[in-house]
Amino acid sequence: MVMDARTGEVLHSRNADTRLHPASLTKMMTLYIAFQAVERGEITLDTPVTISRNAANEPPSRLGLRAGQTIRLRFLLRAAAVKSANDSATAIAEAISGSEEAFATRMNRTARAMGMTNTTFRNAHGLTQEGHLSTARDMTILGRHVIYDFPQYYNLFSRRSADAGIATVHHTNRRWLDSYAGGDGIKTGYTRAAGFNLVASAQRGQQRIIATVFGGSSTAARNARITELMDMGFGQAPRTASLRRPAPPGVMSGNEGARTIRPSGVVSTSMRPTARPIPEAPAAPAPEPAPDLLLSSVDTDVIDALVAEAVTAAIAEAIIEAETEAPTPEPAMAMAIATATPAVRPVPRPVQGAAAAAETVALAAVDQPDPTTTTVAPTGPEVVTRISTSGGRHWGINVGRYDSRYNAERVLLRVALNEMSSLDGALRRVVQRGGGFDANFMGMTREGADLACRRLQARGTQCFMIGSDG
């Protein structure tokens, strides 16, 4: 298979869809998911990884890890990319997903999202295993994603040697990289069942070509064939072409359910709790309440008006944001503003006596009542209390990390408006971390977070769950 990496155009193929053993070409996916996990904050390059007996017992090629040893993730990545170390690949998988089996599930879901329709992964290293198969086309697609989705890490695949913490490792394809002008990666693979495999890439000027060979009879024969394919690609590809990056596949962490939900459009209405009836308060003279105090009761019509005001304000903010990109607002959005109920401020009711006023002062001051509040009517004065949402709502979802708080808040608002049905009641929260600002929705149940993530991924929005049952 020969592909123009800039456009994804196939320039040559022969038996490109024949399912064969990929051998260590598998590690391209292992490393891709590791880069993805680092980018999403699931793990860091300096996270210490404790080596399991399973990882330490992997056959060569190996870094030489020992069971119980601790080593930073960055060294495992270097060993897997440069030396093609099987023990390092297994340790990476277990550090990210807990087990190699769970990691293989994530590998397969990511492969499907990339369009790798004829690939099945059973392990993270590529050693021969029944059912562990791929094709030249699928591996070319994967190589293109590695180049364009994580350019900051791509240099790993062209390093002739690297410090892997406990040893200096040397590249498995130094001979071809040194002999071919512009060659800068990507990955070799060999087992007896697979033969000599290689996904290679080279750049000359504005041209970049990816070529893949399965089943070479020797290293020399494989390198000679890949050189022929590369020369063919540079000869056929145009000198200049518009770069069409592949669409990132999103995060497939293993929380996704078996069903795929394909929403037909934005939900126009969402259910809200019905306010309990408020009993008549006994008439009695009372001092004028302070303007900051929480009101002892709220009329249902006022609640509805305030909810409408909040929704209108959110929609108006989204339209102002959209107008910076397109001069004409969406008709449905303009209609929502035109028909929105005007804001109505609640009228204070008298506070019953000095004791009731003292109780009211103790409550948190707010300007607008929340539609999730409930009125409690004891024998004494009425006090509005908020229903706790903490029980079981320890989960949330992350929809990206951004370079500024403003950008993270913009994304949260846009996602909330586009997915009102499953995010209704979730709290928008921006959390600053070392790499930027995380855009999170919090205060959700596990089932609610899972549903929201699947719906967002069906729309093409990257998302993963955060939180725990505890």
CA-wise closest residue to 27 among 118, 137, 103: 103
Q: Which two tokens stand for residue 450?
A: 């899972």
27 is catalytic: yes
β-bridge partners, 203: 208
Q: Which residues, 6+ apart, have CB-to-CB distance to 68 below 8 Å?
A: 50, 51
187 is catalytic: no
Report residue 456 CA to chain centroid gap: 11
> d(Cα 461, Cα 130) in Å, to the nearest integer?
34
- Which stretches of 377-422 are assigned E, i.e. beta strand? 383-386, 395-402
> d(Cα 248, Cα 245) in Å, to the nearest integer?
9
* Burial grade of 240 (CB within 10 A; 0-12, 13-18, 19 or more): exposed
Q: What is the CA radius of gyration of the chain?
A: 29
Q: Which of 52, 61, 83, 84 is catalytic?
A: 84
Q: Which long-range contacts (CB under 8 A, 24 or more apart) does 117-121 make?
A: 118/17, 118/19, 119/22, 121/26, 121/29
Q: Which long-range contacts (CB under 8 A, 24 or more apart) does 54-58 make?
A: 54/90, 54/94, 54/100, 55/87, 55/88, 55/90, 55/91, 55/94, 56/87, 57/87, 58/86, 58/87, 58/89, 58/90, 58/125, 58/127
For the chain, what is the largest distance between any 2 Cα atoms, rounded to a whole number of angstroms? 99
The residue type found at 450 is D
52 is catalytic: no
Can you count the helices (H) and strands (E) in the chain? 14, 15
Contact 228, 200 (CB under 8 A): no
Q: Which of 24, 61, 88, 422 is catalytic?
A: 24
Just list the catalytic residues: 24, 27, 84
